[in-house]
């Protein structure tokens, strides 16, 4: 059974880069049978899909964040990562990593979430 676990700093200063990692256990991120996504949830904007990566490293991002976001794979550690640069208070949210095994766009497995606060 695949499990996902987010990790990273809980506090980031404005204008800096938010970095989170999702560790996948019970399955391989390079198997090619899933998309791996980042989703965030804030009080102001509800659930917001950020983007996803596939086993070959190809990525898709939501247009509103595309200029500030990078998702990447670390196959040696079976992890995928999120970087959001030039953060503001509006980026304060709980960040989830999630798996889409259908390859169609719904999320069958989620991490428990990681709260990131942007504040000086």
Partner 1 sequence: DIQMTQSPSTLSASVGDRVTITCRASQSINTWLAWYQQKPGKAPKLLISRASSLESGVPSRFSAYGSGTEFTLTISSLQPDDFATYYCQQYDSYSPLTFGGGTKVEIK
Q: Closer CB to partner 1, residue 54 or residue 110?
A: 110
Give the separation between CA 9 and CA 95, rounded to whole angstroms.
Answer: 11
CA 53 vs CA 9, 23, 64, 79, 113: distances in Å: 22, 14, 17, 11, 18
Q: Closer CB to partner 1, residue 32 or residue 105?
A: 105
Q: Closer CB to partner 1, residue 50 or residue 87?
A: 50
CB of 103 to partner 1, least distance (A): 10
| Site residues (vs partner 1, CB under 8 A) | 37, 46-49, 62-63, 96, 98, 102, 104-108, 110-113
Which residue, among 18, 21, 19, has the nearest Cα to 6 in the 3D structure? 21
Rg of the Cα trace of the chain? 13
CB of 63 to partner 1, least distance (A): 6
CA 87 vs CA 6, 7, 10, 48, 119: distances in Å: 19, 18, 13, 16, 10
CB of 15 to partner 1, least distance (A): 26
Q: Closer CB to partner 1, residue 55 or residue 65?
A: 65
């Amino acid at each position: 059974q695949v499990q996902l676990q987010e990790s990273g700093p809980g506090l980031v200063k404005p204008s800096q880069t938010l970095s989170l990692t999702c560790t996948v256990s019970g399955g391989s991120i390079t198997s090619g049978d899933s998309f791996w996504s980042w989703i965030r949830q804030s009080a102001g904007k509800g659930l917001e899909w950020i983007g996803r990566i596939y086993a070959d490293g190809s990525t898709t991002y939501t247009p509103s964040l595309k200029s500030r976001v990078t998702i990447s794979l670390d196959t040696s550690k079976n992890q995928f990562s999120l970087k959001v640069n030039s953060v503001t208070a509006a980026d304060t949210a709980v960040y989830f990593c999630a798996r889409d095994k259908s390859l169609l766009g719904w999320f069958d497995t989620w991490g428990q979430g990681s709260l990131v606060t942007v504040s000086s």
